[in-house]
A and B are shown apart, each in its own frame.
Chain A
Amino acid sequence: MHAAWRGRFSIIVTLAGVTKVYPPRSVALQDINLDIERGEFVFLIGPSGAGKSTLMRLLYREERATSGRVSVNGHDLMRMRPSRLPFFRRQIGVLFQDFKLLPDKSVAQNMAFPLIVAEVSPREARRRVGLWLEIVGLRDRARALPAELSGGEQQRAALARAAINNPALLIADEPTGNLDPRTAQDITELLHEINCRGTTVVVATHSVEMVDRMRRRVVEVGGGRIVRDEVRGSYRALEDGVAGAAGRGLAVGVQTRPAAVARVWPGRGSRRG
């Protein structure tokens, strides 16, 4: 009984027999079964058109499955009324390859946006924005508009916006796709840090380096089906040995916490804003 309770409440994402068909007959996902536990860091990999993005969109109810069951953070997304959707989305954070920052708002205003939407008090919003400006290293760029930022800075601002509401689940769709290797590593480190503080992170990526460096759970999608699910996987299953060796070396990179992060987040283990 105790184990059953634990099992039930430690799962944050459940996809059971999920199929997604786009009209008229384009099958994007077929009979997907996937459980993700709270606190996990999951890479979703696969070639373009494999169904990764569709699967991600199911998780924040941008798309609705054609059949099957999708449950996220205790919410049955197949039965969720449209009026409840905004409140569900406040429990998750979403990060995109193209950042999706509001072009006419400053970095700080972009970060504060989910807090305004959630009607968080101005005092608390200021505190959280200040904290996240420090965490992502954009304190000096708080008043800058997105157009004045580099790609890496924009993605850090977008990451702060996605995480500022202290989400239970953070979904990142190709977060390093537009970034140079050094900046991509910064973003990876931040995602890792956010995960270490209790947020479940699901990242769809084509980045071999990112996956092999972190050696976390890897779910590979191909032809609309899950073709591989490894607890500590690498990008390519067949090259696991090679990637694994590289990964071990690179893993040091993500375990070393950036100085700014260490300063504003002194300890791990508890989730806070």
Chain B
Amino acid sequence: MRLRTVGHLTAEAVRSVQDNGLLSVAAISTVAVSLLVLAVISLLALNMQHLTRVMDAKVQVVAYFAPKATAAQETAAVERIKALPHVTGVKYVSRAAALRQLAHEFGRDRTLLHQVETHNPLPDSADVFVDKTGNISGAVRAVQKVPSVASVHDAQAVVNKLTNFTRAVRYLGLFLVSALALATVIVIGNTVRVAVYARREQIGIMKLVGATNGFIRWPFFIEGAILGLGGAMVSGAIVWWGYRWLNHAVAALVPFLPLLAPAHLLPHLVETLLASGLLLGALGSAISVRRHLNV
């Protein structure tokens, strides 16, 4: 097929999108909503994965000392913990240092911090690093038996919960996205079916003057792709501006919550959305053309 023929067929498809008016708008909106859900679920899953990774890389086990423990007792406890099997390192954190760290994480929003600054409720603690994730529970049990240790916080439990939640979000997302993708294909297919019906006379004439099946079918494929791409552009724009806004808002309100940076994430996500829209549109029209276009 020559380039000028492709140009002619594309022009025909664009005109059909315009002629279909409201139906085209409905199809583009459906694609936009479907892809928006896909984008939101992807962003949620990716950020939760990121959060899990960040937490995983941080302290694995925290040992909190009893409030009445003396400095000597705490030093001895740290030494005993260091000597435990699978423990690769221990970092003592005084209650004052813990408060400083908290102040750093709260950043500019110090209203909450102000209330605890007058009376520091944080205990002295020790961050315990373990060689393998699989050895954490054993280390936790051993640290709990060390004198002067009041309680042990196992960060891995939180990480595990987060991992499970991320997995659930992924499965739910997969189901939702599949259902919406199906709806998108059906709506685009329906739009193309109406276009086929509106142009049935033209199709008959095209056949009479010697148009090949490809020549007749291509405008419908292109029309589906345009509708899909149109919806993807709408959802892409919403995600682009929406996530940047959200990122700024989260950074201001919950500064210690690590969100993925828009600059790294959004270009890839928008590219994926555009490709998905194009594919869903072409797939919807291909199915419709196969079912309703008798050429």
Residues of chain A within 8 A of B209, CB atoms compared: 89-90, 113-114, 117, 161, 165
Check A117 against B211 for contact (C-beta < 8 Å). yes
Given A116-B5, A116-B8, are A100 and B201 neighbors across the interface (CB < 8 Å)? yes
Check A119 against B202 for contact (C-beta < 8 Å). no
Residues of chain A within 8 A of B4, CB atoms compared: 119, 122
Check B210 against A87 for contact (C-beta < 8 Å). yes
Q: Does B291 contact A (CB under 8 A)?
A: no
Count chain B CB atoms within 10 A of each CB in A87, A116, A161 and give the residue with the most. A116
Which listed residue (A62, A90, A100, A102) contacts B210, Cβ 8 A?
A: A90
Q: How long is the Cα–Cα vector from A62 to B210 in the complex, in angstroms?
A: 12
Residues of chain A within 8 A of B201, CB atoms compared: 100
Q: Does A260 contact B (CB under 8 A)?
A: no
State which size class the interface on A falls in: 20 to 34
Which listed residue (A86, A118, A122) contacts B207, Cβ 8 A?
A: A86
Check A119 against B210 for contact (C-beta < 8 Å). no
Q: Which residues, 202 to 222 on B, are CB-close (under 8 Å) to A?
A: 202, 204-213, 215
Q: Does B68 contact A (CB under 8 A)?
A: no
Closest to A162 in B: B209
Residues of chain A within 8 A of B215, CB atoms compared: 86, 117
Total number of residue pairs linking A and B with CB closer than 8 Å: 47
Check B8 against A94 for contact (C-beta < 8 Å). no
Closest to B209 in A: A114
Q: How long is the Cα–Cα vector from A90 to B206 in the complex, in angstroms?
A: 11
Q: Which residues, 227 to 268 on B, are CB-close (under 8 Å) to A?
A: none
Shortest CB–CB separation between residue A222 and chain B, in angstroms? 27
Q: Does B114 contact A (CB under 8 A)?
A: no
Closest to A115 in B: B209
Chain A 84-120, CB within 8 Å of chain B: the 1/0 string?
Answer: 0011111000100000101000000000011011110
Check A89 against B210 for contact (C-beta < 8 Å). yes
Residues of chain B within 8 A of A60, CB atoms compared: 208
Q: Does B2 contact A (CB under 8 A)?
A: yes
Given A86-B211, A89-B210, A119-B2, are A102 and B205 neighbors across the interface (CB < 8 Å)? yes
Shortest CB–CB separation between residue B4 and chain A, in angstroms? 7
Q: How long is the Cα–Cα vector from A100 to B206 in the complex, in angstroms?
A: 11
Residues of chain A within 8 A of B204, CB atoms compared: 100
Shortest CB–CB separation between residue A154 and chain B, in angstroms? 13
Shortest CB–CB separation between residue A51 and chain B, in angstroms? 20
Residues of chain B within 8 A of A86, CB atoms compared: 207, 210-213, 215
Shortest CB–CB separation between residue B14 and chain A, in angstroms? 13
Check A119 against B5 for contact (C-beta < 8 Å). yes
Check B205 against A100 for contact (C-beta < 8 Å). yes
Q: Which residues, 103 to 151 on A, are CB-close (under 8 Å) to B?
A: 113-114, 116-119, 122
Check B202 against A89 for contact (C-beta < 8 Å). no
Check B207 against A89 for contact (C-beta < 8 Å). yes
Shortest CB–CB separation between residue B284 and chain A, in angstroms? 24
Shortest CB–CB separation between residue B122 and chain A, in angstroms? 76
Which listed residue (B1, B206, B208, B213) contacts A94, Cβ 8 A?
A: B208
Count chain A CB atoms within 10 A of each CB in B202, B207, B208, B212 and give the residue with the most. B208
- Chain B residues proximal to chain A, CB less than 8 Å: 1-2, 4-5, 8, 201-202, 204-213, 215
- Chain A residues proximal to chain B, CB less than 8 Å: 60, 62, 83, 86-90, 94, 100, 102, 113-114, 116-119, 122, 161, 165
Smallest CB-CB A-B distances: 4 pairs: A90-B210, A89-B210, A114-B209, A117-B211
A/B interface sample: 23 pairs, CB < 8 A: A60-B208, A83-B212, A83-B213, A86-B211, A86-B212, A86-B213, A87-B210, A88-B210, A89-B207, A90-B209, A90-B210, A100-B201, A100-B205, A100-B208, A116-B8, A117-B206, A117-B211, A117-B212, A119-B1, A119-B2, A119-B4, A119-B5, A122-B4
